[in-house]
């Protein structure tokens, strides 16, 4: 939501707000509208790292979302009270009062159909009725110069390639095949990207060295439990 005008830029129903669902929303807004100056949000764990409950966020430790927005030059502003987000809270109450009734009147019971209704009808009508003109003319959005938003908005993990040219992520073993320019990447550091559609891509610098579709992921392996130490028994010292 635009803090200056109350205009809604994106709305979808999801099972749970998370890093991935928020990345989907922000990427769509940036692709359609452009880059914005700052994102003002609550202190959910996908936005900020907070060492102890009730304390200020740790600016030196970035979440996946924080890393993505820093790459784009977008400032993140944490909210420390509902009162500080008064306009948002009032907008949310309006949604909570109106949207269920609109869905009921149209006999919409499925999430996919509801999201289509949000995208095609509800948001436009909501903005028509409740958005307000900005106090100043012009737009604070600027064209995004990045053409690689699929990489920016991905879950990234750094890994060191094993001797057998594999990396392990979330108990899954991903094989890296031999490339034309290097037989093995053993010992090298790679970045594993989980794209928003579930595809896993492994990159070494600018090179894509492995890609697994969401339906092609290797099976997750059960972690081995550490074996207890074997008892030494009674031993006599040699005379």
Question: Would you tell me how many other CB atoms lie within 10 Å of the CB of residue 190?
Answer: 21
The DSSP code for 35 is B
User: What's the predicted TM-score (pTM) here?
Assistant: 0.85
pLDDT digits (tens, 9 = 90+) for 32-52: 999 999 999 988 999 999 988
pLDDT at 239: 44
| CA atoms 203, 204, 207, 211: torsion sign | negative
pLDDT in tens, 135-155: 888 889 999 999 999 999 999
Q: Which residue ranges of the chain lie beneath pLDDT 70?
A: 82-85, 223-239
Angle at Cα 25 formed by Cα 93 and Cα 213, nearest 5°? 140
Distance CA 22, CA 69 (A): 12
């Amino acid at each position: 939501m635009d803090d200056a005008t109350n205009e809604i830029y994106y709305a979808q129903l999801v099972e749970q707000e998370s890093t991935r669902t928020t990345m989907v929303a922000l990427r769509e807004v940036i692709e359609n509208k452009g880059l914005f100056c700052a994102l003002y949000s609550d202190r959910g764990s996908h936005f900020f790292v907070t060492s102890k409950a009730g304390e200020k966020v740790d600016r030196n430790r970035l979440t996946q979302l924080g890393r993505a927005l820093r790459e784009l030059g977008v400032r993140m502003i944490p909210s420390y009270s509902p009162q500080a987000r008064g306009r948002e809270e009032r907008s949310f109450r309006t949604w909570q009062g109106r949207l269920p009734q609109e869905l009921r009147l149209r006999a919409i019971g499925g999430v996919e159909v509801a999201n289509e209704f949000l995208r095609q009808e509800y948001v436009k009508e909501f903005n028509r009725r409740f958005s307000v003109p900005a106090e100043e003319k012009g737009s604070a959005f600027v064209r995004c110069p990045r053409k690689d938003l699929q990489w920016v908005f991905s879950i990234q993990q750094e890994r060191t390639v094993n001797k057998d040219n594999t990396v392990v992520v979330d108990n899954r073993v991903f094989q890296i095949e031999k490339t034309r320019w290097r037989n093995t990447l053993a010992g090298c550091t790679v970045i594993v990207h989980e794209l928003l559609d579930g595809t896993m891509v492994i990159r070494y610098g600018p090179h894509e060295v492995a890609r697994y579709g969401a339906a092609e992921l290797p099976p997750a392996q059960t972690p081995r439990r550490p074996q207890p130490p074997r008892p030494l028994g009674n031993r006599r010292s040699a005379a």
